[in-house]
């Protein structure tokens, strides 16, 4: 029975921004749990094709769709294409996002708006059009990828924190409005992970590397695969009465203030 609770066989899962990084790690987890995987990106078709080939090499049934999550017309067309070619979407992971590291007093208004548009407005756009079929089917799972910045601030990421804080509340309001249709809407808040993007700073002696190792009670960077379990849980029957929650996968950073317990 426990295995069946987490089985995603027969489900169609759309993961936005799933051609690399943490999005790819979560998408791989859903695919390995049996879901038919919809791979999304917007930078290039070749990048999507490469990602689809990678998923297929793992035995995952994967399909690629290039569209801009901030463009409502493109989103509507893509969802219609997905539903006609693959099937209705049972699981949506709103993962696509950007960050611009600039002090607020120096940040251009257009840059601030761009971060809000990608990180907060796009989950609303995609969810709005995916959820209509979920409502008709009386079931569905939506996962919004939040952040530790949904809870706290940090220098130079004001726009990102504003978007991710808003996404936390959007998650709660989606759950409030759609739970009556047997739709669960939750979030995942990743901590700091060992990815290709963080590789340059994950070296001995780098101040930020030392900060993460000392600040995290687990005393390490997260492995991207650590997110797979959270994504599978929130996509499966195991979470059918979990709604409006943000699951932080951060090695315990948000659980403590000051020096963690593993320091002398």
CB 10 within 8 A of CB 38: no
Catalytic residues: 160
Q: What is the DSSP letter of 120?
A: I
* Residue 23 token pair: 């999005």
Long-range contacts of 239-243 (CB under 8 A, 24+ apart): 239/141, 239/184, 239/186, 240/184, 242/184, 242/186, 243/175, 243/179, 243/184, 243/185, 243/186
Separation of first and last alpha carbons in the chain: 44
Tally Cβ neighbours within 10 Å of residue 264.
Answer: 3
Closest among 188, 197, 193 to 235, alpha carbons compared: 188
Residues 180-199: b if buried by 16+ CB within 10 A, e if exposed: eeebbbbbbbbbbbebeeee
Give the separation between CA 84 and CA 74, rounded to whole angstroms. Answer: 15
With contact defined as beta carbons under 8 Å apart, do 31 and 56 qualify? no
CA-CA distance, 166 to 120, in Å (whole number)?
7
Instruction: Report the number of secondary-structure helices (H) and strands (E) in the chain.
Output: 9, 7
Q: With residue 114 as reference, give the H or E element that holds it.
A: helix 109-116
237-258: b (≥16 Cβ within 10 Å) or e: eebeeebbbbbbbbbbbeeeee
């Amino acid at each position: 029975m426990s295995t069946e609770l987490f089985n995603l066989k027969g489900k169609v899962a759309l993961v936005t921004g799933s051609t690399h990084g943490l999005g790819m790690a979560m998408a791989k987890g859903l695919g390995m749990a049996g879901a038919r995987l919809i791979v999304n990106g917007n930078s290039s078709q070749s990048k999507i094709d490469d990602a689809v080939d990678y998923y297929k090499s793992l035995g995952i049934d994967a399909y690629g769709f290039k569209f801009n999550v901030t463009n409502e017309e493109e989103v509507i067309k893509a969802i219609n294409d997905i539903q006609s070619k693959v099937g209705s979407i049972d699981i949506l992971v709103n993962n696509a996002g950007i960050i611009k590291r600039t002090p607020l007093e120096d940040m251009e208004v257009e840059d601030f708006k761009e971060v809000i548009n990608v990180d907060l407005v796009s989950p609303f756009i995609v969810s709005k059009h995916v959820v209509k079929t979920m409502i008709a089917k009386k079931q569905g799972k939506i996962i919004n990828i939040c952040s530790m910045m949904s809870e706290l601030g940090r220098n130079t990421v004001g726009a990102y924190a504003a978007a991710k804080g808003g996404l936390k509340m959007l998650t709660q309001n989606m759950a409030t409005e759609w739970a009556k249709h047997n739709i669960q809407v939750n979030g995942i808040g990743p901590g700091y992970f060992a990815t290709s993007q963080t590789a340059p700073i994950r070296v001995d002696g780098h101040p930020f590397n030392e900060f993460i190792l000392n600040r995290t009670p687990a005393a390490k960077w997260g492995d991207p695969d650590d997110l797979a379990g959270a994504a599978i849980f929130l996509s499966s029957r195991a979470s059918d009465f979990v709604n409006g929650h943000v699951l932080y996968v951060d090695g315990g950073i948000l659980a403590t203030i000051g020096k963690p317990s593993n320091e002398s």
